[in-house]
Amino acid sequence: MSKVIKIKRGLDIKLKGSAEKVIVDAGQSGFYAVKPPDFLGITPKLLVKPGREVKTGTPLFYDKHQPSVLFVSPVTGTVSAVNRGARRRILEVVVQVADSQVYEPLRKADPRGLSSEEITEQILHAGLWPAIIQRPYGIIAEPGTRPRSVFISGFDSVPLGPDYELILRDEKDSFAAGIEALKKLTDGSVHLGLPAGATASKVYDRLEGVSVHYFTGPHPAGNVGIQIHHVAPINKGEVVWTVSPQHVALIGRTFLLGHLDPTWIVAVAGSMISRPRYFRTLMGTGVQPLLHKNLREGEVSPRVISGNVLTGTSVGTEGYLGFYDSLLSVIPEGDHYELFGWAMPGLKKFSASRAFFSYLQPRREWDLDTNLHGGQRAFVLSGQYEKVLPMDILPVQLLKSILAEDIDKMEQLGIYEVVEEDMALCEFVCTSKIEVQEILRQGLDILRKEMS
């Protein structure tokens, strides 16, 4: 199955500050954290208190709804704080790192020789089960169940997206081991989506028993949801599991080494970064060492986003990297007024429409800030979302059925196939500044409650 799938709709947003393709070691962070809000739909139950000594891989909390899903410490040290927010919701479990690292022991074996139960057990104990996301809903997969298939997108088309060829260049064996482990968890195939022209990949070639698909076209061609839609769309009742490439390698490493190795490579990019590069660090690192002597000084304050500019979370300069994020995007805040801004020719204003003269510079890199550019309005224009959603789904009708809480319509219109990242571009281009991703999440939550 090596034909190229052309993604025709979408939008590439070229931002300034893409990371140079070098990896350097990050400074040591004093603190590392695991953040329950990273994981959709879980209710954390703590297993530790501040002061407790932990090793790398010691469970910190588990999910109340699925107690076998553990969330573990990425470093050896002492639990320093459990930070809570409104209504005592746990925001962060923070560990102060010790000088030497000790690991919780796991099984060291070739996944090809293990049963699916043994593999599931290993991944759960390693605290890496949360890396496996299920569709529909985009929540952590249910251990013990078997999905129709497993999909991995080998590339990221988001603005400033990290290059996985670079991140995994020394991880070929780990990645292959991870693939072997995942193969055992499904009776269907493991699919890998790659950019067309990646036939000379060092990491991804000669993987056995994997269906490879090649994609060209603008973002969201790298989104696993889009790739699934074009290869084997999810129907009602079907479940597909997805894992990010770096997590696949991490899973593989636990089998090769016999313990959790939390080494994590993150691209630090964006126009507010002086030297955008890739940093080698550990999972859950504080972002301070990544920003140290790396932030542009000036009048404008930075927005530090764990993840990409379309779907990431704002963590601030003292926050921690999210579990799923191989990218830290830092862009300027846009809290400024502009006189007659809406009437200006707009050479510097990026738009998907041709309503500004910025379209005269197609090859330019843009320094976009966080300004909303308008106030929220009702749905007025039509045809905008369809231009950036390469799926056979009617986006506005789907969103309206969610707002009307019409469960049958939501199902019929294909809500099972999408999660927020697939419709993030719709939110970007929306003239009426409608909160598309939030509405979609509400719909998915309504449906999940209905189905349980």
Helix axes 172-183, 245-257, angle to 10 degrees: 90
- Alpha-carbon torsion, ordered 131, 134, 138, 141, to 10 deg: -60
Kindly tell me which of 292 and 433 has the beta carbon lying closer to another protein.
Answer: 433
**At closest approach, how far in Å is the CB of 351 from another protein?**
5
Q: Does 149 bind another protein (CB under 8 A)?
A: yes
**Residues 282 to 311 in contact with another protein, rule: CB under 8 A:** 303, 305, 309-311
Stretch that binds another protein, among 103-111, 201-209, 215-223, 412-420 (CB under 8 A): 412-420
Q: Does 3 bind another protein (CB under 8 A)?
A: no
Candidate list 209, 339, 362, 449; residue touching another protein; CB under 8 A = 339
Q: Does 430 bind another protein (CB under 8 A)?
A: yes
**Residues 309 to 328 in contact with another protein, rule: CB under 8 A:** 309-312, 314
DSSP assignment letter at 380: -
**At closest approach, how far in Å is the CB of 432 from another protein?**
7
Candidate list 16, 107, 257, 356; residue touching another protein; CB under 8 A = 356
Using alpha carbons, list the distances in angstroms from residue 269 to 17, 137, 225, 296, 304. Answer: 6, 29, 24, 12, 10
Stretch that binds another protein, among 1-9, 22-30, 40-48, 355-363 (CB under 8 A): 355-363
How many residues sit in the footprint of another protein (CB under 8 A)? 81
**At closest approach, how far in Å is the CB of 288 from another protein?**
20
**At closest approach, how far in Å is the CB of 157 from another protein?**
15
For residue 227, the surrounding DSSP H or E stretch is: helix 224-231
Pairing between β-strand 77-84 and β-strand 53-54 as defined by DSSP bridges:
antiparallel
3-state secondary structure of 440: helix
Kindly tell me which of 125 and 349 has the beta carbon lying closer to another protein.
Answer: 349
Q: Which residues contact 421 (CB under 8 A, 6 or more apart)?
A: 220, 223, 225, 310, 311
Q: Does 337 bind another protein (CB under 8 A)?
A: yes
DSSP assignment letter at 392: S
8 A C-beta contact, residue 421 and residue 225 = yes
Q: Does 365 bind another protein (CB under 8 A)?
A: no
Candidate list 50, 197, 345, 374; residue touching another protein; CB under 8 A = 374
Q: Which residues contact 56 (CB under 8 A, 6 or more apart)?
A: 72, 73, 74, 75, 76, 101, 102, 103, 104, 259, 260, 262
Kindly tell me which of 40 and 394 has the beta carbon lying closer to another protein.
Answer: 394
Q: Does 447 bind another protein (CB under 8 A)?
A: no
**Residues 229 to 258 in contact with another protein, rule: CB under 8 A:** 232-233, 235-238
**At closest approach, how far in Å is the CB of 347 from another protein?**
11
8 A C-beta contact, residue 31 and residue 94 = yes
**Residues 153 to 192 in contact with another protein, rule: CB under 8 A:** 159, 186-189
For residue 175, the surrounding DSSP H or E stretch is: helix 172-183
Interface mask (CB under 8 A) for another protein, residues 74-113, using x and -?
Answer: ----------------------------------------
Q: Does 429 bind another protein (CB under 8 A)?
A: yes
**At closest approach, how far in Å is the CB of 350 from another protein?**
6
Distance CA 7, CA 30 (A): 44
**At closest approach, how far in Å is the CB of 327 from another protein?**
12
**At closest approach, how far in Å is the CB of 258 from another protein?**
32
Q: How many CA atoms lie within 13 A of 184 on its CB side?
A: 22
Q: Which residues contact 1 (CB under 8 A, 6 or more apart)?
A: 211, 212, 213
Measured at the alpha carbon of residue 265, what is the angle toward residues 173 and 317, in degrees to the nearest 5?
165
Stretch that binds another protein, among 109-117, 257-265, 337-345, 444-452 (CB under 8 A): 337-345
**At closest approach, how far in Å is the CB of 17 from another protein?**
13
Give the end-to-end CA distance of the chain in Å, rounded to a whole number.
37
Distance CA 115, CA 123 (A): 13
Q: Does 145 bind another protein (CB under 8 A)?
A: no
**At closest approach, how far in Å is the CB of 386 from another protein?**
6
Q: Look up tokens 């699925």; give the residue.
A: 66
